A and B are shown apart, each in its own frame.
Chain A
Amino acid sequence: MRHGTPPSLLAALAVPGAACLSLFFLLPLGIVAAESLAGGGAGYARLAARAEFWTGLRNTLALGVTSGLVSVAVGFAVALHLSRMTEARRTALLLLVSLPLTFSGLIVAFGFILAWGRAGFFTLSLQALFGVDPASFARFVYSPQGLAFVYAYFLIPRVVMLLLPVLVNFDRAQLAAAESLGATRLRALAAILLPQVAPSALVAFCLVVAVAFGAYGTALALVGSGQANILPLQLFTMVSDAGADWPETAALALVLTALCSVVMAAGEIASTRREAAHASGA
């Protein structure tokens, strides 16, 4: 007797997804790729010849890695805390944690301006309490370093969502065993918990770094297209320019896509290898 869904039905169910993927990802990607190769790939050469591109690439990498590290560090702590709670309490708090994911980048940026901008609530509070100069302080929020912390705001929930299942399913008796064997709490966490969470943390890190590489709405609203030299804003400026160099713009778009894809793939491969090693038991 045969069980399961018939292959024809499975194929039919896959059609809408495949159509969307083809129409809104593969086709545009193909067009952009073809555009980037116009003129024998001269667009890539022009892109590589611009010093601004290389500075933007460095800034983008720095912004992505910094916000990724901050997000994973904070997200891990939050997920660890949530994992120790009762399920009901955890579910309630998880709703709050995931709230930033529902906001657009613009809303996040305006929120930060209201809170941490020159006339922001916290900035003025710090001025009133400690005499901090609002202009100097707010400059940090509008700098690339400040941008990393703003990005972390909407990247942390992603990390929490990815790490929470791992931490909830972690057998805490291992930590008790480690302590009974002579480990301090910190040593138990570092030697027993962290290595087991590391594959998921790596995937989470790569995911949020890739998201940070591509994000531009928050940066645009906060610092404007001219003040932060990062690749997504360069791309935005080039696309907005009526007389844009389309092959170069397409080349930049593909570089950015490749950057995100490489980071995501690296995370997945490293994680899969580690999980395979675990599963084999060798």
Chain B
Amino acid sequence: MSIAVEALSYAWPGSAAGVRGIDLSIAQGEMVAVIGPSGCGKSTLLKLIGGFLAPDAGRVKLGGRDATALPPRRRDLGIVFQAYALFPHMTALQNVAWPLSLRGVARAERSRRAAAMLERVGLSAHAGHRPAALSGGQQQRVALARAMVFGPKALLLDEPLSALDAALRVAMRDEIRRLQQDSGIATLHITHDQEEALSIADRVAVMREGRILQCAAPRDLYARPATRSVAGFVGHANLWDATVLDARTLRTPIGLLAADAAGFAPGSAVAALVRPERVRPGPAPDGVNHFAGRVARDRFLGSFRRLDLAVAGGTVVLETASDTSPEAVHIPQEAVQVLPAD
């Protein structure tokens, strides 16, 4: 079943925060991740879809039917909350079986189905334990099992991995993706972790100040961000304010930059984007987009290093697998993207 929101707006009382005119659709079996800085409205969006808030305007559709006025209990959505919201007075099995008891499933049947669901998330051995006796990862699995055991129409995940340590987070995000794909269920995944979003979602929506700036497949979002804000939020980036001199040249704080600026009028203010992995160490063979400098910061990141090269007028960030520290870099013209200034 699909999820769709149309022109959805909500303003928190006495605050400018909220969401404004959100349009988003998630097809059956698709996972859409929503990322954005704190306060951008991503959790508000989830609350509106979940029925915990009534929108000021717009509609929420589930499976093509208007669900805007339905209370949470009648939306049939599986929701995993940020801190899991497990019931501490119930065992893992009781937690997972509870939604089935609400649906009148007989005791034996709900125990069987809850046990099967716990087995799917690899927690059979902990069925009799209360949440207090489970690790963060195990609690997260119980929350996921509880949200999926009754066959919800769609799944909403509210930063479900934020309470886990880094190693467990990576393992659990793969687990979530596997379960979501096995179930073929439309899923909205709210997260502040762009790496998490890019690695498991079919599409990623970037929000800022209550609006969706861009929603695209992870590769497209990374390779072709629509705005400077999106480029800055998704992945690492060299972003410079620039002025278009002509169709092939930009003026930036670090000097002239050869780029394809054909779509922009001369004199217009733009942003120049270069991903760090597209910056080449060493001097330019043809002298184009060549910048000399010295390494101001060197970060070892395992298989590569991220370097800040201090150049005249600014900094160029590059990523390289080389052990040597360059004294100059060059930027291939095709690596420069020209974006409208925000």
Interface size on B, residues (CB 8 A): 33
Question: Which residue of A has the minimal Cβ distance to B126?
Answer: A281
B129 interfacial by beta-carbon distance below 8 Å: yes
B50 interfacial by beta-carbon distance below 8 Å: yes
Of A171, A177, A195, the most chain B CB neighbours within 10 A belong to A177
Per CB-CB distance, the 9 closest pairs between chain A and chain B, nearest first, are: A281-B133, A173-B85, A177-B85, A281-B130, A181-B99, A182-B102, A281-B132, A179-B72, A180-B79
Query: In the bound complex, how far is the Cα of B313 from the Cα of A125, in angstroms?
Result: 84
Q: How far is the CB of B113 from chain A (nearest CB, A)?
A: 14
Question: Which residue of B has the minimal Cβ distance to A174?
Answer: B85
Query: Which A residues form the contact surface with B (CB < 8 A)?
Result: 171, 173-174, 176-184, 187, 191-192, 195-196, 278-282
Query: Do A176 and B72 touch (CB < 8 A)?
Result: yes
Contact among A176, A278, A280 for B81, CB-based, below 8 A: A176
Q: B75-98 interface mask toward A, CB cutoff 8 Å, 1 = contact, 0 = none?
A: 111110111011111000000001
Q: How far is the CB of B91 from chain A (nearest CB, A)?
A: 8
Question: Which residue of A has the minimal Cβ distance to B132?
Answer: A281
Q: B127-158 interface mask toward A, CB cutoff 8 Å, 1 = contact, 0 = none?
A: 01111111000000000001100100000000
Query: Do A180 and B72 touch (CB < 8 A)?
Result: yes
Query: Do A176 and B89 touch (CB < 8 A)?
Result: no
CB-defined A-B contacts under 8 Å, sample of 8: A173-B81, A179-B52, A179-B73, A180-B79, A181-B102, A182-B73, A183-B102, A184-B73
Query: Do A181 and B83 touch (CB < 8 A)?
Result: no
Query: In the bound complex, how far is the Cα of B134 from the Cα of A280, in angstroms?
Result: 11
B39 interfacial by beta-carbon distance below 8 Å: no
Query: Do B89 and A281 touch (CB < 8 A)?
Result: no
Of A180, A191, A195, A280, the most chain B CB neighbours within 10 A belong to A180
Query: Do A278 and B130 touch (CB < 8 A)?
Result: yes
Contact among A171, A279, A282 for B85, CB-based, below 8 A: A171
Q: Tell me which residues across on chain A come within 8 A of B150, comparing CB atoms.
A: 181-182
Question: Which residue of B has the minimal Cβ distance to A199?
Answer: B89
Q: Tell me which residues across on chain A come within 8 A of B134, comparing CB atoms.
A: 281
Query: Do B71 and A278 touch (CB < 8 A)?
Result: no
Query: Do A176 and B85 touch (CB < 8 A)?
Result: yes
Query: Do A281 and B71 touch (CB < 8 A)?
Result: no
Given that A171-B83, A180-B77 are known contacts, is A282 also in contact with B128, CB under 8 Å in the complex?
yes
Q: How far is the CB of B150 from chain A (nearest CB, A)?
A: 7
